[in-house]
Amino acid sequence: MGRAICLDISQSGPEGCALLLHDLTLFTPGAAPLRDAAVLLDGPRVAWAGPASEAPGGERRSLGGRLVTPALVDCHTHLVHAGHRAGEWEARLLGAGYADIQRAGGGILSTVRATRAASEDDLVAQALPRLDALLADGVGTVEVKSGYGLDADTELRMLRAARRLGAERPVTVRTTFLGAHAVPPDYAGRAGDYLADACLPAMRRAAAEGLADAADAFCEGIAFSPEETERVFQAAAALGLPVKVHAEQLSRSGGALLAARHRALSADHLEHATAEDAAAMAAAGTVAVLLPGAYYVLRETVAPPVAAFRAAGTPMAVATDCNPGSSPLASLRLAMHLACTLWGLTVAEAWAGATVHAARALGLPDRGRIAPGMRADLALWDAKGPAEVIYRLGQPLLHARVVGGRWC
């Protein structure tokens, strides 16, 4: 796919005239679908939304009865990387475990070797097809992590490539520094030294160059302890970077409670989280980001405590975790479907998880809902209702996206 071109639909009428989209079904999280609705766009913002019978004036465009929702937000991806790990997937089918592969030098470290050898142009070229797949699924905002360099030059090269994705395509890209993703072989058994010598200096460089919007760490027995993860959080706070964490994926590591103590934007994975973790995260405003792609591909059997998150009022987001190893998934609609089918999320919870709660996990309160003053990021679907968008597997349903008031 070539470079996308967008039309500024807010300027399609007389100069300065807002555009009224009508003849549509409107769905925004927290409300029932509204048939015979209309949405007024004024530049990059939504000016009004509601029943068509009450719509203000403006240049009009019929959407032919289509469903209009907020554009989706994929709040956890590893889009920028080189190579793939199909062989490891096959090995897992034959009985190898995720941790076994990681300890044998595969897993994240396998992708590190390929990514270190790739140029920035190579990384962009390999990431664009994955990004295009997400955009074809209605995504308007995507988070992209580093973490496959584990040295300063490659980590920053990954972040520069991620920034370029936002220039190549009509999408908002939020970048996350994930230098604490794994301990490189030359620091085996010396995670603390790796943080001091390489990871934290690289994060400071990323912040100084404006390449990182947040910082992340993998708090797990095969990666970094809670104490080591806290060093990352403290260094990020000194740089003014919000934090998030990969936590409780393979075991209960304490990462979720640590995230809550530091009022992290999110804690992600969370298969081994508990009711205590859910309550602490809810009190801190930390979003629980659920990643069913990794659970499915790794054939895990311990599911995240969805009932505990509901009971505590912990906001739940859903994301693809698109990565070359544990979640080679580039469809947020499929992630939503898996979260519903495997873990019992309702349709309403899945939609909130891929829109307003995902936006919250990125610190972006201006999107994820269709309401006056919100950013005009919309998805237009050839579907009758929100359940159908999640229910249909492998079937293209997106008619168009509107990103910041521009038709794409």
Does residue 263 sit in the same domain as residue 384?
A: no
Give CA angle at 321 (317, 323), nearest 5°. Answer: 175
132 contacts 169 by C-beta, under 8 angstroms: yes
Nearest to 306 by CA among 353, 343, 259, 256: 343
pLDDT at 15: 38
In a domain, 217, yes or no: yes
Q: Are residues 27 and 115 in the same domain?
A: no
Helix boundaries (H) for 189-291: 191-194, 200-208, 226-238, 255-261, 275-284
DSSP 195: I
CATH number at residue 284: 3.20.20.140
Cα–Cα dist 312/300, whole Å: 24
Neighbours of 1 (CB within 10 A): 11
Q: Which residue type, as a one-letter code, is found at position 228?
A: E
The answer to whether residues 205 and 346 belong to one domain is yes
The answer to whether position 129 is within a domain reads: yes
The rounded Cα 321 to chain-centroid distance in angstroms is 7
Is 1 inside a domain boundary? no
3-state DSSP helix/strand/coil % of the chain, to nearest 5: 40, 25, 40
What is the pTM (predicted TM-score) of this model? 0.96
| Residues 178 and 65 grouped into a single domain | no
Strand, coil or helix: what is 95? coil
| pLDDT attached to residue 66 | 98
Tokens of 28: 């925004």
Residues 324 and 338 placed together within one structural domain of the fold:
yes
297 to 94, 98, 320, 391: CA distances (angstroms): 13, 10, 12, 20
198 lies in a domain?
A: yes
Contact (CB, 8 A) for 339 and 350: yes
**So what's the pLDDT on residue 101?**
85
What is the distance between the alpha carbons of residues 392 and 397, in angstroms, rounded to a whole number? 9
Q: Could you give the number of structural domains in the chain?
A: 2
Where the chain has pLDDT below 70, the residues are 1-17
pLDDT of residue 262: 98
65 and 29 in a common domain: yes
Residue with tokens 């237009």: 380
For residues 161 and 238, membership in a common domain is answered with yes
- 161 and 193: one domain? yes
DSSP 301: -
The answer to whether the beta carbons of residues 60 and 93 sit under 8 Å apart is no
Q: Examine residue 315 and state whether it is found in any structural domain, yes or no.
A: yes
If we measure between CA atoms, which residue out of 239, 249, 188 comes closest to residue 217?
Answer: 249
Q: Is residue 313 part of a domain?
A: yes
Residue 220 is part of which domain span? 72-361
My answer on whether 262 and 394 are in the same domain is no
25-50 burial code (b ≥16 CB/10 A, e <16):
bbbbbeeebbeebbbbbbebbbbbbb
Is there a domain that residue 121 lies in? yes
Whether residues 258 and 342 share a domain: the answer is yes
What local confidence, expressed as pLDDT, does residue 17 receive? Answer: 62
Q: What CATH number did the domain enclosing 14 receive?
A: 2.30.40.10
pLDDT of 108: 87
Q: The tokens of 375 are what? A: 């950013």
CA nearest to 213, candidates 203, 201, 227: 203
Sheet containing strand 378-381, edge to edge, reads 7-8, 406-407, 398-403, 378-381, 59-70, 19-26, 34-42, 45-51
Do residue 275 and residue 126 come from a single domain?
yes
Nearest to 76 by CA among 181, 202, 4: 181
Residues 318 and 250 in one domain: yes
Instruction: Return the SS3 of 183.
Output: coil
Does 86 reside within a domain?
A: yes
One-letter amino acid identity for 182?
Answer: A
* Alpha-carbon span 5 to 408, nearest angstrom: 7
